[in-house]
Chain A
Amino acid sequence: MHRIRRIAASLAAVTLIGSAVPAIASATSVITISGATASYPLVQLLAHKYVKLLHNKVSFRISQGGAQIGINDVAAGRVTIGDVSRDPLPTDPPGLVFYPIAKYAICVVTNKSNHLANLTEAQVQAIFTGKDREWSQIPGASASGPIDIISRTSTAGVLTNFKSLFLANKSVSKLAAEEPSEGLLEQQVENTPGAIGFLSNYRADSGSVNPVGYNGIGCTLANASSGQYSGVARFYEVTKGKATGAAAKFISWIDSSQVAHKIVASQWIPV
């Protein structure tokens, strides 16, 4: 019977702590964020700095899962802000407001053993639509044999941007592998000597794959910042209706403060 009393006592203690925590937390405001995996590293850095500057008067809960999850969550009111790595689409739920927070480059990438330096728009389209099937058809490629196209599942925000920026909205070949995340795409390109895929510049620069130039311009942060590299897309913070309260302050801080600009400029491009 002692055990039952002990269990009862600990349950009571847990209940007390549980009810005390919200009381403490109510002094600070909580911003909940979910969405794109591609923008997660940036938002994480920004949120961390913002919490420090405000001396913990605000706190964040950030989860990642994909741009479409950000859209769905914010439209349903499950989070304050949705992170989205693509432009607004006509199929998005009505009433969402998109605030651009940074730009990022999309790099075409190949396996490290394939020292391909550059592709033209026409070549990228021929490869990804499945017209050219062999590396021997691509001048400058050191890989041989068939081209293995590694793409993303059709829900991915980066794929949507890739299609509009590089493929003139043509569809990726039905032969392509459709990876559910940037990490799996990177892994597959790293594994496969004949592979070609596309990644946001943050991942493409990680050293595991070979970033390929586009229309004669290298896919580097410097070229993307200067505006020479054309494969550039935007990260958005999305709210349901106009941003209000803590979320609005956070978004306008990203937009206006020097500190936030420095974080964005470290690996991405300020808007």
Chain B
Amino acid sequence: MQRLRKPWSDHRAELLLGAVSLSTGLVVLFMIAFVAARAWPTFAHNGLGWLGPGGSLKVQVENMLATSTKPPASAYHVRAWPIVYGTLLITALAVLLALPLAVLSAVFIVELAPTALRRTMIRVVRLLASVPSVIWGLLGILVLVPFVGNHLVTASERTSLQNTVQLTGAGLAIAVVLLTLMITPIMVALTCDALATVPPAWREGAAALGVNRVRAIRAVTLRAVRPAIVAATVLATARALGEAIMISMVSGSVFFSPRPGDGVAFLFEPVRTLASTIVDFREGLGGAPALNSTLYAFALLLLFSVFVLSLAGYLVKLPLRKYQVRG
């Protein structure tokens, strides 16, 4: 007890904090190694070809389950293109929708809104950013799916596609809308932070030159925070890529690649992503080795993409330092 009473020396505190941060790094390394080891059989049997198209993913998953404890090499056969495509499609659409929304709201909040409104808005945005995804999923399945299914999908769309795909309402459109709602607040918050760090002198300089407010925002402020906007987009993309439970609840749970050629019906077609497939088949984890390894391969691909994205996010923020603006 005597020793506890003494203030800690800098050296001891340094060692303790260092050990803690080092262990986070170790956890990340261990996680990658663990997932990679579990995913290895899938890579060994399919190479990188499993990312491509070919055959029915539903049948392939059923084959994995049918062989259980000692799977033959053929059980590992998988071509995951429908869900890779689904992941890219949902993420790209959501980020494209969220980007203009986020930049415009951030500019309004920081540059144009009166102080009282600005403070409230920032709080609301941070609150929205922290809504758990399962809440969005519930909103989707209880409100949006019945609405879209009963009011937006037309009888002729349903009938013309009835031998290709079922349009129940759950599908691409709802997943994209909810995902946009989930990632926009994150992007708004990050962009707001960056906008707030733009030196006031720059704006004043623009005003002194006789530039009006909107032009100054476009030419000076937004230009200065461009790297921060890219960084926010990259982080939001990573968030969107990994979203699992909400998408599993509202996207129709079918291995189907939505076809843009189907016109408006394209928006209502069901889709699965890498992450939502892991959620849908979580019951198989620890069971049939072939399915197990395949799910881990999906997870490894997600981990890899998210790491690449966060590295990219870091790199694009570097130029900000040049202007001594923190992103």
Q: Which residues of A contact B (CB under 8 A)?
A: 1, 4-5, 8, 65-69, 71-73, 76, 89-94, 130, 133-134, 145-146, 148-150, 153-156, 171, 174-180, 184, 187-188, 191-195
The answer to whether B168 and A180 touch across the interface, beta carbons within 8 angstroms, is no
Cβ of B215 under 8 Å from chain A: no
With A154-B65, A180-B283 as contacts: A191 and B169 at CB distance below 8 Å: yes
Distance A145 CA – B270 CA, assembled complex (angstroms): 18
With A8-B4, A72-B286 as contacts: A187 and B141 at CB distance below 8 Å: yes
For residue B256, give the distance in angstroms from its CB to the closest CB of chain A. Answer: 9
The answer to whether B283 and A177 touch across the interface, beta carbons within 8 angstroms, is no
Q: Which residues of A contact B149 (CB under 8 A)?
A: 191-192
Closest to A184 in B: B249
The answer to whether B270 and A69 touch across the interface, beta carbons within 8 angstroms, is no
Q: 8 closest Cβ contacts across the A-B interface?
A: A91-B68, A66-B283, A146-B162, A155-B283, A72-B286, A191-B146, A68-B283, A180-B280
Cβ of B27 under 8 Å from chain A: no
With A174-B56, A191-B169 as contacts: A1 and B283 at CB distance below 8 Å: no
Cβ of B165 under 8 Å from chain A: yes
The answer to whether A1 and B7 touch across the interface, beta carbons within 8 angstroms, is yes
Q: Which of B111-159 contact A (CB under 8 A)?
A: 141-142, 145-146, 149-150, 155, 158-159
Closest to B249 in A: A184
With A1-B5, A4-B4, A191-B146 as contacts: A155 and B168 at CB distance below 8 Å: no
Q: Which of B31-59 contact A (CB under 8 A)?
A: 56, 58-59
Distance A66 CA – B280 CA, assembled complex (angstroms): 12
The answer to whether A177 and B280 touch across the interface, beta carbons within 8 angstroms, is no
For residue A46, give the distance in angstroms from its CB to the closest CB of chain B. Answer: 23
Closest to A180 in B: B280
Closest to B254 in A: A177
Q: Which residues of B contact A130 (CB under 8 A)?
A: 163
The answer to whether A180 and B248 touch across the interface, beta carbons within 8 angstroms, is yes
Distance A90 CA – B65 CA, assembled complex (angstroms): 11
Q: Which residue of A69, A134, A148 is within 8 Å of B283 (Cβ)?
A: A69
Q: Which residues of A contact B208 (CB under 8 A)?
A: none
Distance A145 CA – B146 CA, assembled complex (angstroms): 16
Q: Which of B1-16 contact A (CB under 8 A)?
A: 1, 4-5, 7
Distance A84 CA – B109 CA, assembled complex (angstroms): 55
With A91-B66, A145-B155 as contacts: A188 and B170 at CB distance below 8 Å: yes
Cβ of B185 under 8 Å from chain A: no
Distance A174 CA – B58 CA, assembled complex (angstroms): 7
With A153-B281, A180-B282 as contacts: A5 and B69 at CB distance below 8 Å: no
